[in-house]
Amino acid sequence: MTAIDRGPAHTSTVAVIGTGTMGQGIAQVALVAGHPVRLYDAAPGRADHAVGAIAARLGRLVDKGRLTAADRDAALGRLAPVAAIEELAGAELAIEAILEELGAKQELFTALESVVPDHCLLATNTSSLSVTAVAGALRLPDRFIGLHFFNPAPLLPLVEVVRGAATDQAAADRAYATVAAWGKTPVRCADTPGFIVNRLARPFYAEAFRVHEERAADPATIDAVLRESGGFRMGPFELTDLIGQDVNEAVTRSVWESFFHDPKFTPSLAQRQLVDAGRHGRKSGHGWFDHAEDAPRPAPHTAEPCEAPDKVVLHGDLGPAAALVGLIEEAGITVVREPRSAAGHLVLPDGTPLSLTDGSPATADRAARIHFDLALDYRSASRIALAPSGAASPESVRTAIGLFQALGKQVSVVRDVPGMIVARTVAMLVDFALDAVAREVASPQDVDTAMRSGVNYPRGPLEWGEELGARWVRDTLRRLHDSYPTGRYAPSQALIRRAALQEELL
């Protein structure tokens, strides 16, 4: 057994260095889990301030009945600020949450290394630096690990346990076990830009911003479609206003720069302008939306009531939208089946085809055509987006609106963009996830856990991909790539292999 194998039991001392937002949250988690915790901050008085802030937070937990007063008092008895790094000598786990700067972190860990025992696990809470790089200057880099908590650490369960190039397996296992014992949801991941969540979530923001930059719909409508059709808890515009545009844009830019400007990660010009203008979101009173107290909350564009058709013709099957057929029949609308057709679609009484977006624009030629967007679950979706081609008549658009309204849906008509809103977002999320798994960033299970638990996705991207079918995702991205040949939408090799495998099995 190596020294590292003996890693922190719950009675061992945890040192937290950097006692700002994250340090305080992490310290609270370790404290409530039973550890003695020592706090150190370079700025005089900040560690003492952190003790007060943690005491206040534990007090609120007592008020809410989630912690007994005795447990609070015992926890606070285990908490102490220290004035010098040498006073961290007894720590068996040291977690750093200082400013996000490689040189500062390397310097800190070099100093810390000569103070703590050789079996002390050293962890960084960095969100954007390479764990391998931070460990670069260490004498014993094998006991160095990334422990990426999310803000607020006491509330959010996910912790990414990041193994750098030199990290020992035993150190990674101990860190994982410790965080699990703290009641968190740890996932293992390799040292890659953005780790799991910040890497795989990029398209959720970027696709929405691109759709908006093309003026296909306004932020409130795009948010509503992703929430009410895509099943996401919040839309990307309202969510980035909450996170802070500066914070979200910095993550995007850092991941993009780390990948040497790979077009799959290109940031948004519109978001950059918001940041430059100081419109950082709720905290500055204005972001994509105006957050002044009396400011009206913009409503999504929603179509007025329209008359439903009494029948539609179904050609082939609707693929990921197949559940619509049963819903249409339940609404009392006759579905006439025409099975001999390759690409599944519906036909309205005036002859206009209505189909799930396949990644191509509805306006590919002079034909009248209407696309509708992907939904997480067509039965529970309360909103559907429609994109008519240039040649679709206002009457046929009204009939398509009426059809979805007859199913109990609100309808948002958006300008025709390839892949619409939900379909292009989900296709990209699935591709990013498959690519990351193929590159051994994380296991399939940890990828889905991270995205459900870390950013509340309604379904893990891999599970979603299985349901949609890799061929559908690949073909959707190929058509998006035809429309935007920058490389951004080129399907990954992992997706291509998966789709080929699916074809072989048919």
Tell me the closest approach of the beta carbon of residue 49 to ligand NAD, in angstroms: 9
Write down the least CB distance from residue 153 to ligand NAD, Å: 8
Tally Cβ neighbours within 10 Å of residue 460: 22
Which 8-state DSSP code applies to residue 71?
A: H
Q: Measured from the CB atom, is 104 or 323 closer to ligand NAD?
A: 104
> How many Å apart are CA 350 and CA 369, to the nearest integer?
11
For residue 77, CA distances in Å to 19, 133, 299, 321 come to 18, 36, 51, 58
Closest approach, Cβ 105 to ligand NAD, in A, equals: 7
Report how far residue 480's alpha carbon sits from residue 487's, in angstroms, rounded to the nearest whole number: 10
Measured from each CB, the residue nearest to ligand NAD is: 20
Q: State the nearest-atom distance from the C-beta of 43 to ligand NAD, in Å.
A: 4
Bridge-partner residues for 347, per DSSP?
313, 353
Cβ within 8 Å of residue 361, ≥6 positions away: 387, 389, 416, 417, 418, 483
Which is nearer to ligand NAD, 112 or 370 (by Cβ)? 112
Write the Ramachandran bin of 316: left for phi over 0, alpha for psi from -120 to 50, otherwise beta.
Answer: left
Q: How far is the CB of 127 from ligand NAD (least distance, A)?
A: 4
- Measured from the CB atom, the residue of 126 and 268 that comes closer to ligand NAD is 126
- Annotated active-site positions, please? 127, 148, 160, 198
The footprint of ligand NAD (CB under 6 A) covers 17-23, 41-43, 46, 97-100, 104, 108, 125-127, 149, 151
Closest CB to ligand NAD among 39 and 190? 39
Query: What does the alpha-carbon distance between residue 303 and residue 405 come to, in Å, rounded to a whole number?
Result: 9
| Nearest distance in Å: CB 236, ligand NAD | 17
Which stretch of DSSP H or E encloses residue 267? none
Instruction: State both tokens at 122.
Output: 């050293």
Largest CA distance in the chain: 80
Given the structure tokens 């105006």, which residue do they identify?
A: 290
Is the Cβ of residue 127 or residue 271 nearer to ligand NAD in the bound state? 127
Indicate the DSSP class of residue 186: E
- Let me know the angle formed at the C-alpha of 86 by 82 and 91, rounded to the nearest 5 degrees: 80
Nearest to 35 by CA among 54, 10, 18: 10
The Cβ of residue 458 has, within 10 Å, a number of other Cβ atoms equal to 14
- Residue 7 vs 23, nearer CB to ligand NAD: 23
